[in-house]
Chain A
Amino acid sequence: MVQSSLAKRYRSEKGFRAFGILSIAVGLVALSCLFVGIIGSGIGGFTQTKVRLELDLSVELLGITDTHNAEQIKDADYQPVVREALALRFPQVEGRSDKRLLNAIMSVGAGYEVQALMRKHPEWLGTKQTIWLTADDDVDVYYKSRKGKVLGDRLKEQQIGWIEELIAKGDMERKFNVAFFMSGDSAEPELAGILGTLLGSIFTLSITLSLSFPIGVAAAIYLEEYAPRNKFTDFIEVNINNLAAVPSVIFGLLGLAIFINLFHLPRSIPLVGGLVLTLITLPTIIISSRVAIKSVPPSIREAALGIGASKMQTILHHVLPLALPGMLTGAIIGMAHALGETAPLLMIGMVAFVMDIPDSIHSAATVLPVQIFLWSDSPERAFVERTSAAIMVLLMFLICMNTLAVVLRKRLERRW
């Protein structure tokens, strides 16, 4: 009897296990597809095509009349210097329209790069300098794809000729994309960076953490340690669990109604973003903190109370330190969740073009996922790889935060 059913039970056991392995495999395949896709298209975003030009930083070209006037050197128009350098490099180019095409090889940011360098090295005035300057985004797309299927039909035949000539002479190369990490958003892909949005994320998250962690922990302690068990506290508990499942966009609407329409706070600032994200992460933190407090054995509380500690002393000296790792893990996971949030920020105006790098919690800013959303919607082809590069940065932050949560739990958590 047992023998006859044994084979069948083994079989179903095997099937059950195979099903589990299959599920994990599906998950892993999906994840690796995502990673391969994003890394494949994003890795190029960390490099930028540059062109080496010999610049003639002469007084006449810059229209500087007083060589000792630092203001004049600072505010001079450096665009003509770049144009002149290109004209010297390709003396055969004539005619207005051809010259326009030639100038289009360089980014509009090239002039500003020269300006920034001149502010650092005013002694260069009147000399000749050979400098690597940023190329236009269309050139960037062409250069990166020219080995395979060439993208970027936007370049004219003459332009491709000039580019090939620059490449042949070694005057065009891919360099590490410093601008990507050191500047704010830009309408030109070759000048766009994530520093502004990264700072926006940091400001927003610091508000969120500094509000939601103390509030969440205090709520959890009260609910676990002090609150009587009655219908009212049950009602609160049900509602906290519900709030954790409410779509985040609704919190955005709430934030719009309260912080902007009622309190008249300005739109698009990290302060409001942080407040809204606080509302979103609060339920997560309360729930995980309660679990952490609950897992502290009652014997510890009883022992503390038994030797005469007050309730507050028991909680602060014994329960809280033991529950802290669990609470921190919850907070970090809540923060990681908040870092990836876009929808509620749409409502409070944080989805915007902000070029300046934010310097406080009340200057206009966006956050990393919003920047990704905005770039993915931009028509310029070169934004595709910048979008993926920004996703990689975001993923890196998420991986770091989640690893920290795991490490904290592993190292600090005590098993009873």
Chain B
Amino acid sequence: MKKVIAALACVSGFALTAPMAFADRDNISAVGSSTVYPFAKVVSERFARKGNFKAPKIEPTGTGGGFKEFCKGVGVTFPDIANASRRIKQSETDACRAAGVTEIVEIKIGYDGIVLANSKKTPQLDLSVKDVYLALAKQVPNPKGGDKLVPNTAKTWKDVNAALPATPISVMGPPPTSGTRDAFVELVMESGCSSFAFLKALKDSNPEAYKAACHVLREDGVYIEAGENDNLIVRKLAENPNTFGIFGYSYLEQNADQIQGSKINGKAPTFENIADGSYSVSRPLYIYVKKAHIGVIPGIKEFITEFTSEAAWGDTGYLAEKGLTPMPKKERASVAKSAAELETIAQFRAP
């Protein structure tokens, strides 16, 4: 019996003292979007090579998973920074507040374009968002006219738009857990969907039906879910010239010798077009910083300064080299200013 008590004491002692034994974390911990991951990685590296602080640890958990960890509480065992490929949601700020994370600094770091790309062996397509919607939505408006939805039977791009070639539609893209997929659905599918007046009207009258009509992608093998590995998609595209892939602009940029991005609404996905906003399929990227950790974990303020420096996110900065599309100069200046002042986001100011 004595031994059992001793063993129990050991276990509970370990449970109680373990957190304290590790209370000395001296590196920043960031979690979140795998789209922001490569950018956060470079900043972390440059920041550490300056020699004053340890390299921040960056975990690619996906935006949602990142916020979940981030909002678990205040303390060294919880991450200091959440990387996100979309804005924080109300439900997430609520979760944060419930766990005592009441002050969060939001920093927009730039834009990421989403491309629909194919092999260079086949011609570049000029698509409209409507074409993409008609090609990939599970249910589409009856091609014969009328305000009825019918199952999508389009086999080739020509079926969608007579101006397009008669090659079969085949698109590889990310699964629903991905932020890239969310952004693609919102930016392309929804705007393509809204080009039909009766569907647009549905948005206010019946949001559920609108979502079902606009957000659901085909499941008959035309749209292939390829997992989160964008490199795999790129490799598959090189092998199958008629297949298109959906991924972030940085992958197109790194593999520009093999693949090309389709024009969307007449604009090619180039650095310039994404930067000035004329290429419509792009989304802002953010990092969120837990204010309570500043001063506790060394280097957070300096890390923010590094992230928001011109050498990093400027027009010719090293983040641009990795495929991030910078914000206009004016916006950069204002974001950098509010980041330096550690302005917390509005939902958190009012109780």
Query: Closest residue to A377 on the B side, CB-wise?
Result: B229
By a CB distance below 8 angstroms, the chain A residues around B240 are none
Residues of chain A from 261 to 275 with CB closer than 8 A to chain B in the complex: 262-269
Does A159 belong to the interface (CB within 8 Å)? no
Does A181 belong to the interface (CB within 8 Å)? no
**Contact call A151/B257, Cβ cutoff below 8 A:** yes
Q: For the complex, give the distance between the alpha carbons of A374 and B58 in Å.
A: 12
Say yes or no: A263-B14 contact (C-beta < 8 A), given A353-B44, A355-B45: yes
**Contact call B15/A262, Cβ cutoff below 8 A:** yes
Does A335 belong to the interface (CB within 8 Å)? no
Interface residues on B, range: 35 or more
Partner of A353, one of B19, B49, B57, B76: B57
Does B174 belong to the interface (CB within 8 Å)? no
Residues of chain A from 165 to 217 with CB closer than 8 A to chain B in the complex: 184, 186-188
Say yes or no: A154-B318 contact (C-beta < 8 A), given A353-B37, A353-B58: no
By a CB distance below 8 angstroms, the chain B residues around A377 are 34, 228-231
By a CB distance below 8 angstroms, the chain B residues around A264 are 18-19, 77
**Contact call B60/A351, Cβ cutoff below 8 A:** yes
- Min distance, Cβ A139 to any Cβ of chain B, angstroms: 14
Does B271 belong to the interface (CB within 8 Å)? no
Query: Closest residue to A365 on the B side, CB-wise?
Result: B57
Give B305-326 as 1s and 0s: 1 = Cβ < 8 Å from A's Cβ atoms.
0000000000010100011000
Does A354 belong to the interface (CB within 8 Å)? yes
By a CB distance below 8 angstroms, the chain B residues around A263 are 14-15, 18-19
Q: For the complex, give the distance between the alpha carbons of A351 and B60 in Å.
A: 7
By a CB distance below 8 angstroms, the chain A residues around B76 are 266
Say yes or no: A379-B38 contact (C-beta < 8 A), given A154-B256, A188-B45, A265-B77: yes
By a CB distance below 8 angstroms, the chain A residues around B34 are 377
Does A152 belong to the interface (CB within 8 Å)? yes
Residues of chain B from 78 to 119 with CB closer than 8 A to chain A in the complex: 79
Q: For the complex, give the distance between the alpha carbons of A184 and B27 in Å.
A: 15
Say yes or no: A355-B55 contact (C-beta < 8 A), given A263-B15, A376-B229: yes
Q: For the complex, give the distance between the alpha carbons of A269 and B18 in Å.
A: 13
Query: Closest residue to B75 on the A side, CB-wise?
Result: A264
Partner of B254, one of A265, A266, A364, A381: A381
Partner of A187, one of B14, B22, B38, B231: B38
Query: Closest residue to B21 on the A side, CB-wise?
Result: A362
Q: For the complex, give the distance between the alpha carbons of A299 and B22 in Å.
A: 52
Does A378 belong to the interface (CB within 8 Å)? yes
**Contact call A381/B255, Cβ cutoff below 8 A:** yes
Does A234 belong to the interface (CB within 8 Å)? no
Give B21-57 as 1s and 0s: 1 = Cβ < 8 Å from A's Cβ atoms.
1100101010100100110111011101101001101
Does A296 belong to the interface (CB within 8 Å)? no
Q: For the complex, give the distance between the alpha carbons of A376 and B231 in Å.
A: 7
Does B348 belong to the interface (CB within 8 Å)? no
Query: Closest residue to A355 on the B side, CB-wise?
Result: B55
By a CB distance below 8 angstroms, the chain A residues around B126 are none
Partner of A154, one of B15, B250, B254: B254
**Contact call A267/B231, Cβ cutoff below 8 A:** no
**Contact call B19/A268, Cβ cutoff below 8 A:** no
**Contact call A356/B54, Cβ cutoff below 8 A:** yes
Query: Closest residue to A75 on the B side, CB-wise?
Result: B51
Q: For the complex, give the distance between the alpha carbons of A380 and B322 in Å.
A: 9
Does B59 belong to the interface (CB within 8 Å)? yes
**Contact call A265/B44, Cβ cutoff below 8 A:** no
Residues of chain B from 284 to 298 with CB closer than 8 A to chain A in the complex: none
Q: For the complex, give the distance between the alpha carbons of A363 and B254 in Å.
A: 33
**Contact call B59/A351, Cβ cutoff below 8 A:** yes
- Min distance, Cβ B31 to any Cβ of chain A, angstroms: 8
**Contact call A379/B323, Cβ cutoff below 8 A:** yes
Does A326 belong to the interface (CB within 8 Å)? no
Query: Closest residue to A184 on the B side, CB-wise?
Result: B55
**Contact call A379/B77, Cβ cutoff below 8 A:** no
Residues of chain A from 114 to 162 with CB closer than 8 A to chain B in the complex: 151-154
- Min distance, Cβ B279 to any Cβ of chain A, angstroms: 19
Does A352 belong to the interface (CB within 8 Å)? yes
Q: For the complex, give the distance between the alpha carbons of A365 and B190 in Å.
A: 41
By a CB distance below 8 angstroms, the chain A residues around B69 are 267
Q: For the complex, give the distance between the alpha carbons of A266 and B37 in Å.
A: 20
Query: Closest residue to A259 on the B side, CB-wise?
Result: B18
Give A354-371 as 1s and 0s: 1 = Cβ < 8 Å from B's Cβ atoms.
111000001110000000
**Contact call A112/B49, Cβ cutoff below 8 A:** yes
Say yes or no: A364-B29 contact (C-beta < 8 A), given A154-B256, A353-B58: yes
**Contact call B257/A153, Cβ cutoff below 8 A:** yes
Say yes or no: A187-B41 contact (C-beta < 8 A), given A100-B316, A153-B257, A354-B55: yes
Query: Closest residue to B73 on the A side, CB-wise?
Result: A264
**Contact call B77/A266, Cβ cutoff below 8 A:** yes
Query: Closest residue to A349 on the B side, CB-wise?
Result: B59
**Contact call B77/A153, Cβ cutoff below 8 A:** no
Does A108 belong to the interface (CB within 8 Å)? yes
Partner of B59, one of A184, A265, A268: A268
By a CB distance below 8 angstroms, the chain A residues around B57 are 268, 352-354, 364
**Contact call A154/B257, Cβ cutoff below 8 A:** yes
**Which one of A152, A351, A376, A379 has the highest number of Cβ atoms from chain B below 10 Å of its Cβ?**
A379
By a CB distance below 8 angstroms, the chain A residues around B18 are 263-265
By a CB distance below 8 angstroms, the chain B residues around A374 are 60
Q: For the complex, give the distance between the alpha carbons of A263 and B16 in Å.
A: 7
- Min distance, Cβ A171 to any Cβ of chain B, angstroms: 24
- Min distance, Cβ B268 to any Cβ of chain A, angstroms: 16
- Min distance, Cβ B49 to any Cβ of chain A, angstroms: 6
Give B208-244 as 1s and 0s: 1 = Cβ < 8 Å from A's Cβ atoms.
0000000000000000000011110000000000000
**Contact call B77/A267, Cβ cutoff below 8 A:** yes
- Min distance, Cβ B18 to any Cβ of chain A, angstroms: 5
**Contact call A379/B250, Cβ cutoff below 8 A:** yes
- Min distance, Cβ A232 to any Cβ of chain B, angstroms: 19
By a CB distance below 8 angstroms, the chain A residues around B48 are 355-356
Q: For the complex, give the distance between the alpha carbons of A188 and B253 in Å.
A: 16
Q: For the complex, give the distance between the alpha carbons of A260 and B37 in Å.
A: 23
Q: For the complex, give the distance between the alpha carbons of A136 and B334 in Å.
A: 33
- Min distance, Cβ B88 to any Cβ of chain A, angstroms: 20
**Contact call A266/B22, Cβ cutoff below 8 A:** yes
**Contact call A187/B42, Cβ cutoff below 8 A:** yes
| Contact sample, A vs B, 6 pairs, CB 8 Å cutoff | A153-B256, A187-B322, A264-B18, A265-B19, A377-B34, A379-B250
Chain B interface residues (CB < 8 Å from chain A): 14-15, 18-19, 21-22, 25, 27, 29, 31, 34, 37-38, 40-42, 44-46, 48-49, 51, 54-55, 57-61, 69, 76-77, 79, 228-231, 250-251, 253-257, 316, 318, 322-323
| 6 new A-B contacts at CB < 8 Å, known A356-B55, A377-B34 | A187-B44, A266-B25, A267-B69, A353-B40, A362-B21, A377-B228
The 10 A-B pairs with the shortest beta carbon distances in the complex, nearest first, are A153-B257, A355-B55, A353-B58, A264-B19, A352-B59, A379-B254, A187-B42, A187-B41, A364-B57, A353-B41
